[in-house]
Amino acid sequence: MEFSSKLIEKAVNEIAQLPGIGKRSALRLVLHLLKQPKEQTSFLSQALLQMREEIKYCKNCHNISDNTICEICANRNRDHQVVCVVEDIRDVLAIENTGQFRGIYHVLGGKISPIDGVGPSQLKIPTLVEKVKNGHIVEVIFALSSTMEGDTTNFYIYKQIVNSGVTMSTIARGIAVGDELEYADEVTLGRSILHRVPFEKSFKNN
């Protein structure tokens, strides 16, 4: 793509680095911004910069947060003895949208995937194991996507905490194998949390 302006070219190239956006879409966005009042671009770039500079991760669950402890962890009305283990922040949003879960979360930051070079040490597993061993948790719910990587991650954590006496369950598989939680509809996801099954039963059947 040839541009008559280096400035346009630079903006297009930056935007085109975002996932799911090709150069054509990037150009459309840039031209759109040019038609808008200048402040619009200013608000957009300020919002992005501020988000990047000031975002925090909850000390307790690693969810994104504006404070050191996220709103979910800080909420006394939530059941702090029930912890739902998820891959990333999108899963927290998906489960929160169901309105069916009153416990708290633990965000791993991914799943074990040797192909992608992600090992257990890159994930927030130790803080989860520590929480369980401190004895404040009654139930751990595994809510990872039902892929091989998800199963591997569940099983890795299971082995670390199996002797701690904590109840372990997994979300019911109304969600098809290989599906990402994010794409499950709210009703299905909500049900799969309510009708969760004991974790050991889930993998012994396989």
Q: Residue 91 forms beta bridges with which residues? A: none
Which C-beta is closer to Zn ion: that of 15 or that of 73?
73
Question: Which CB atom, from 57 or from 155, has the smaller least distance to Zn ion?
Answer: 57
Could you tell me the smallest distance in angstroms from the CB atom of residue 45 to Zn ion? 29
Binding site for Zn ion (CB under 5 A): 58, 60-61, 63, 70, 73
Q: Toward Zn ion, which CB reaches closer, 30 or 61? A: 61
* CA 87 – CA 100 distance, rounded (Å): 19
What's the closest the beta carbon of residue 50 comes to Zn ion, in angstroms?
21
Q: To the nearest whole angstrom, how small is the minimum distance from the Cβ of residue 140 to Zn ion? A: 15
Query: Which residues neighbour 84 within 8 Å (Cβ) at sequence distance 6 or greater?
Result: 95, 101, 103, 104, 105, 106, 141, 143, 193
Q: Cβ 204 to Zn ion, closest distance in Å?
A: 32
Nearer to Zn ion, 23 or 80 (CB): 80
